[in-house]
Amino acid sequence: MYRVGIVGASGYTGAELLRLCFEHPQLELAWAMGETQAGTEVADLYPSLAAAYPRTRFEPYDATLADGLDLVFLALPHGMSQQLAPDLQRRADKVIDLSADFRLRDAALYPRWYGEEHAAPELLGTFVYGLPELFRYEVQKAEAVAVPGCYPTAAGLALAPLMVTRAIEGDEVIVDAASGVSGAGRSLAHATHFGTANEDFTAYGLLNHRHTPEIEQVLSARVLFTPHLAPMTRGILATCYAKPREASSTTQLIDALGDFYINEPFVVVSDRPPSTKATLGSNSAHLTARYDERTGWVIVLCAIDNLMKGAAGQAIQCANLMLGLDETTGLAQAAVYP
């Protein structure tokens, strides 16, 4: 068994990590820290976890509790992990950060997109970008991993195979994606109140969403990214557009995706238009592609569960690789339906 801790366990992503750790046959939860909920029983905040953690309480942050642990998950808002990571890396054997704090390789991008200088720029090069389907070998060797954002995961899985094989151009890429309200986290905000989000569909972060440089980094492309908030709890659907380097066909594109992901347990490639509900509660990504002969554009679609493949599920997938376990251990490939 591997002993793990979760910092930021009281948020939606932290709660998902708690659920996955309980179901994992090789991970033993040592503690769950949730500063804003310290002293609260996990079952009181999340009754869905009552059977798994009937008496566990969220603890206040205490770095010394990480001493000797096999792995620590950081599920904190942006800006907090970079304050804690240097100390935690010395205490725990491995660290997985689910925030954006260590995803970008260029420290100069943080003031522009996140509004402040990075507190630990010297550590950026020590964190591996945790998208296993693209960087599996690096993740396996890593002691520190930065789990990708939910939007970059969907866009990266959709377009990276065609970028790698030079099937599409990198100077005209459009990513149009929609997310459920859980992507905004547990904190109260007017935009995610039921009365605001229900029966509405709205774009946000126009031209300045923080995931833009991350998507560009993954794809090595210039990207126009527009996110949308959809009236659903979980899920992301990314519709991505690019120009092909030469005339193609729908069959060629789907075959190219299928060949690239042929041995990937969590990626489903088919001619079916993907839906968010088809991925609910699973760590799977569903993809398809089309070539539009009329306009000459390539369209690639990807659906994921933003709290699973877009966050906690992918973190567990990375943990499995880092600990030398089978990549699928403790992770569902089949979704919950209806």
The token pair that represents 333 in the structure block: 């490939």
CA 244 centroid distance within chain: 27
Contact 317, 331 (CB under 8 A): yes
| Positive/negative CA dihedral, 224, 227, 228, 234 | positive
The token pair that represents 137 in the structure block: 């070998």
- 175 phi, psi to nearest 5 deg: -120, 115
Q: Is 243 helix (H, G, I), strand (E, B) or coil?
A: strand
Known catalytic residues are 150
Q: Which residue has the tokens 């240097």?
A: 86
Long-range interactions of 54-61: CB distance < 8 A, separation 24+? 56/29, 56/32, 58/9, 58/10, 58/32, 58/33, 58/34, 59/31, 59/32, 59/33, 59/34, 60/33, 60/35, 61/7, 61/33, 61/35
The token pair that represents 155 in the structure block: 């866009």
Q: Which residues share a beta bridge with 203? A: 228
Contact 283, 309 (CB under 8 A): yes
CA 30 centroid distance within chain: 23
